[in-house]
Amino acid sequence: FDRAVGLELPNEAGRSAVLAVHARGKPISPEADLESIATRTVGMTGADLASLINEAALLTARARRRTILPDDLEQALERVRDAPERQRRLSMRDRSIGSSFLHGERTTFEDVAGLDNIVEELAEVREFLADRQKFEKMGARVPSGYLLAGPPGTGKTLLAHALAGESNAAFISVAATEFNEVYVGEGAARVRDLFAQARGVAPAIIFIDELDAIGGQRSAGMANNSERAQTLNQLLIELDGFGRSSTVIVMGATNRPDILDSALTRPGRFDRTLTLELPDIQARREILELHARDKPISSKIDFESIARVMSGVAGAELKNLLNEAALLAARKGATEIDQSLLEEAMDRIFVGIANQRPLSTEERLVVAYHEAGHGLVARTLPGGRVLHKISIVARGGIQGVTWLPEAGDRRLHTPTVLIERMAALLAGRLAEELVFGEAADGAASDLARVGQIARRMVTHLGMSEAVGALNYVSDSPDELIPISDETARLIDSETRRFVSEAEELARGVLREQRSTLDRIVSALLERETLSLEEVDEIAGPAPASRL
């Protein structure tokens, strides 16, 4: 084979011509707009277009009509888009690169919830791939590189899939870790192959997950000929090689945008950063409703209340929550998923599976006072959180749990709020001391969290007058800048002062409401789990500050 001839996918004019060829001799209605079909078939091959016309003819024959109507063409277009044969063509896997093409069910923006602002930004890319000439006439250059930054599970991969589905573009996904090799030059070669592959099936979207694995900041001591440096340099070269009319879009995903090399994020490369945050209440509700569409959900389910409890939870975990509830429903022979199954699924996922070995009577009483202490102080001193439920059902390594979700996805925290939060965390241990004279060893995680909050107040947030409005954090989040012994002692003293203040606050509530504490414990021993409404019924109206 001494000559290679490259055959590219047809452009809009080519697709229009192909459709016209295959429409010859077929009774196409004058109302049918083949030009419109050509515009919306970006990424289709000539075989796909031939199949589209043939499918429309079959639909017409089945309906016993003599003319192919616009609706027949629309239905045929949807069928060809999702046809298994076409999906197989887009499900190739190149082991030398470690990349995979989109396969399976087509994903679109309708499959994305809670990310309206990001979807709006990416719609621009869809429009560019569908009608490139509109942008070229204005002299505009659509960014060829998009960086998706955010915590795990927030929808970075889903968004890239959806954009490919919306644009009818080939989707090539690769983890950046697969570029790292022992032998120098292998990673750079894989980057070249990846981009060559994308150009061959353009329009295409390249999705590079864990971009920080190869795109981290280069240190002064890093040799230019090191494997990672060569791989990164090759990626920069490929990004620079895109012209204004290129129909290959590169999307990178990272949990740590702060450690990326600045050369990656300059204009012309990954010059558009889209930050995905953990969903707020409204977004969580939308995500739950989205993933509930294909499940038998009880009409009495309150997704708003579930969304309120799931503060700080990513979209992937919400999807898993509904799946776990569906598994529980099937296991129990239920015909639909109700609120109780969702609550049980929450406990199983975020706390653990219920233990079979029961606690002794004495231990159960200690756990009941511990959890009741948390709940009572939390409803009195909310600290930006609200009580959802109290449970003494042992799960995993946890003997009981008090659910205290963030109230209204609070973003700002005053010293008062943080001290109240520490008081609620300390209240379990202090309730044990109040009733039994000493506390058991079940408060280790509470104490660790209290220590983190108090120390952060002093060293990060400037909330100590004695230490001053200074931030002692170094470039590494877990380390402090060098400080003197005197400053270290002062930081320790102020940290202890904040903890002591929270302790006194919690003790005061527990002493004042000892009879209420006892009533909550009695109900817990009888029912094992109490909802907020049940606690309010026992303890009386909640303090106004909680509202």
CA dist 432 and 450 (Å) reads 17
Percent of the chain with pLDDT over 90: 41
Rounded to an integer, what is the distance from CA 385 to the centroid of its chain?
Answer: 23
Q: Which amino acid is at 400?
A: G
Cα of 289 vs its chain's centroid, Å: 16
Please state which of the ranges 262-266, 353-357, 529-533 shows the lowest mean pLDDT. 353-357
Task: For residues 68 and 415, give the distance between their C-alpha atoms in angstroms, rounded to a whole number.
Answer: 71
Structure tokens at 499: 């903890």
Q: In this predicted model, what pLDDT tens digit does every residue of 327-339 receive, in sequence order?
A: 999 999 999 999 9
Higher pLDDT, 248 or 370: 370
Cα–Cα distance list, 213 to 94, 159, 228, 315 (Å): 21, 21, 9, 24
pLDDT digits (tens, 9 = 90+) for 139-189: 667 777 899 999 999 999 999 999 988 888 888 889 888 887 655 567 888
Per-residue model confidence (pLDDT) at position 245: 59
Taking residues 374-400, what's their average pLDDT? 87
Cα–Cα distance, 291 to 113 (Å, whole number): 9
Task: Report the share of the chain in percent with pLDDT over 70.
Answer: 88
Q: Quick one: 94 exposed, middle or buried, by C-beta within 10 A (0-12, 13-18, 19+)? A: middle
Residues 6+ apart with CB under 8 A from 189: none
Nearest alpha-carbon partner for 393 in 378, 408, 403, 384: 403
Banded pLDDT at 214 (limits 50, 70, 90): confident
Specify the pLDDT at position 130.
77
The domain ranges of the chain are 12-83, 90-275, 281-350, 361-546
Same fold, 90-275 and 361-546: no
SS3 for 384-428 is CECCCEEECCCECCECCEEECCEHHHCCCCCHHHHHHHHHHHHHH
The architecture CATH gives domain 12-83:
Orthogonal Bundle (1.10)
Cβ atoms within 10 A of the Cβ of 312, count? 12
pLDDT category at 320 given cuts 50, 70, 90 is very high
Kindly state the average pLDDT of the residues 275-298. Answer: 92
Contact 455, 491 (CB under 8 A): yes
**Average pLDDT score, the chain:** 85
Query: Looking at domain 361-546, does it have CATH number 3.40.50.2300?
Result: no
* Residue (of 10, 1, 73) closest to 47 by Cα position: 10
The whole-angstrom separation of Cα 289 and Cα 62 is 37
CATH number corresponding to 90-275 = 3.40.50.300
Q: Determine the average pLDDT of the residues in 519-523.
A: 95
Binned at pLDDT 50, 70 and 90, residue 384 comes out as low
Q: What is the pLDDT of residues 46-94, one digit of tens each?
A: 888 988 998 898 888 888 888 999 999 999 998 887 765 554 444 433 3
Please name the amino acid found at residue 389: K
**Could you tell me the fold of the domain covering 281-350?**
Helicase, Ruva Protein; domain 3 (1.10.8)
**Helix or strand (DSSP H, E) at 250:** strand 248-254
* pLDDT at residue 345 greater than cutoff 60: yes
For residue 68, the SS3 value is strand
List the one residue out of 262, 247, 195, 255 whose CA is nearest residue 12. 247
Considering 213-227, 346-360, 377-391, 416-430, the range whose residues carry the highest mean pLDDT is 416-430
Q: In whole angstroms, how far apart are CA 493 and each of 159, 458, 459, 469?
A: 48, 10, 12, 16
Residue ranges with strand state E in 103-215: 145-149, 170-175, 204-209
DSSP class of 210: S
The catalytic site residues sit at 371
3-state SS, residue 28: strand
Average pLDDT, integer, range 278-300: 92
**pLDDT higher at 4 or 138:** 138
**More confident position, 199 or 501:** 501
pLDDT digit string, tens, across residues 478-506: 667 788 889 889 999 999 999 999 999 99
- Provide the whole-model pTM: 0.73
- DSSP SS3 for 42: coil
Give the count of beta carbons closer than 10 Å to the beta carbon of residue 362: 9
Query: Regarding beta strands 99-101 and 93-94, do their DSSP bridges make them parallel or antiparallel, or are they unpaired?
Result: antiparallel
Cα torsion at 346, 347, 349, 355 (round to 10°)?
-160
The predicted structure's pLDDT at residue 94: 35
DSSP state of 189: H
Counting Cα atoms < 13 Å in the Cβ hemisphere of 486 gives 2
Closest CA to 177 of 230, 213, 206: 213
Residues 6+ apart with CB under 8 A from 424: 374, 377, 378, 381, 383, 385, 404, 506
Question: 384: which 2 tokens?
Answer: 């930006």
